[in-house]
Structure 1
């Protein structure tokens, strides 16, 4: 959704153009008055933009919540579907072997797949630790060192 100035909250006043505002012509205004007016307008503009950002994030958050809920519902239904398919596999194997043995075979295969996924997942988690963005931190430290060195050299001149 695109936001425009027309989406401005009702309580927020519109920014006045200092050239076209009816109070006093620009040529007759003092520099201090123009600076004050500019500061007021910038303040109003920033508040309005923050309010619009808040509205947009609220709307996006609601949509994301609905989407996550739908994904959760899909996961539950898929879980029941997998259970039904596993029951079908067990019943199908039970036609050629005892039912307990077919259930045991399916259970062992499922546990083996779960173990393999757990090992692979643990490897991925180990690669992600520590959660601090080390490359970014190193870049920021290098920037700070560069700025500090340039200030020291600039101060000695």
Structure 2
């Protein structure tokens, strides 16, 4: 028999069993217990529920992280292959410029054109990156909040320094 959670997320394979709260239809058993016993049972059941939900979330997240890592490995391999084959493309482009504009006497000129275009492109990207870095600011709200928290902890309710600050 499968639970509703297993039906909604596949067959539940790979997920550990989590503790569950025993439910009963016996109303007389609840009536015989004292208030303290009922509160104790309720807190125990709530604790079990929270632990179970936490364990379920942890196992599902771990499974999804593994999928993400596997996918990122494929992206890294694709990027490495791309980076390895970029020089072949640049050489082909340079030789194509030499053939297109008849630079037979100066075969280096096609390579110089490709180098110049790559240099200008890299310079433009570096300039854009520098502009973005110049816009980075300190986290002013966080700094102000931390300063006010420290100031509040150093003073007691009547505005006087507490004993810890007096010792410093």
Check whether TM > 0.5: yes
The number of equivalent residue pairs is: 135
Q: Distance in 2 between matches of 1:21 and 1:13?
A: 21
Post-superposition offset of 1:26: 1.1
Q: Distance in 2 between matches of 1:113 and 1:5?
A: 53
Q: Map of 1:59-70 to 2, 5 A cutoff?
A: 59-70=63-74
| SS of 1:9 mapped into structure 2 | coil
Greater RCO between the two (CA within 8 Å, min separation 6)? 1
- Does 2:98 align with 1:91? no
Post-superposition offset of 1:81: 4.1
Unpaired stretches in structure 1, ≥5 consecutive residues: 145-151, 153-157
The match for 2:55 is 51
| SS of 1:94 mapped into structure 2 | helix
CA 1:5–1:45 in 2, change beyond 3 Å: closer, same or farther?
A: farther
Of residues 6, 19, 29, the one that matches 1:13 is 19
Between 1:88-97 and 1:29-38, the stretch displaced more is 88-97
The match for 2:162 is none
Summarize deviations over 1:65-94 as a string: whole Å, max 9, x none: 111111112212322443322111111122
Partners of 2:94 and 2:114 within 8 A in 1: yes
- Give TM-score, length-normalised by structure 1: 0.71
Q: CA RMSD in A?
A: 3.0
Partners of 2:20 and 2:52 within 8 A in 1: no
Q: Distance in 1 between matches of 2:26 and 2:90?
A: 75
Of residues 94, 98, 101, the one that matches 2:109 is 101
- Give TM-score, length-normalised by structure 2: 0.67
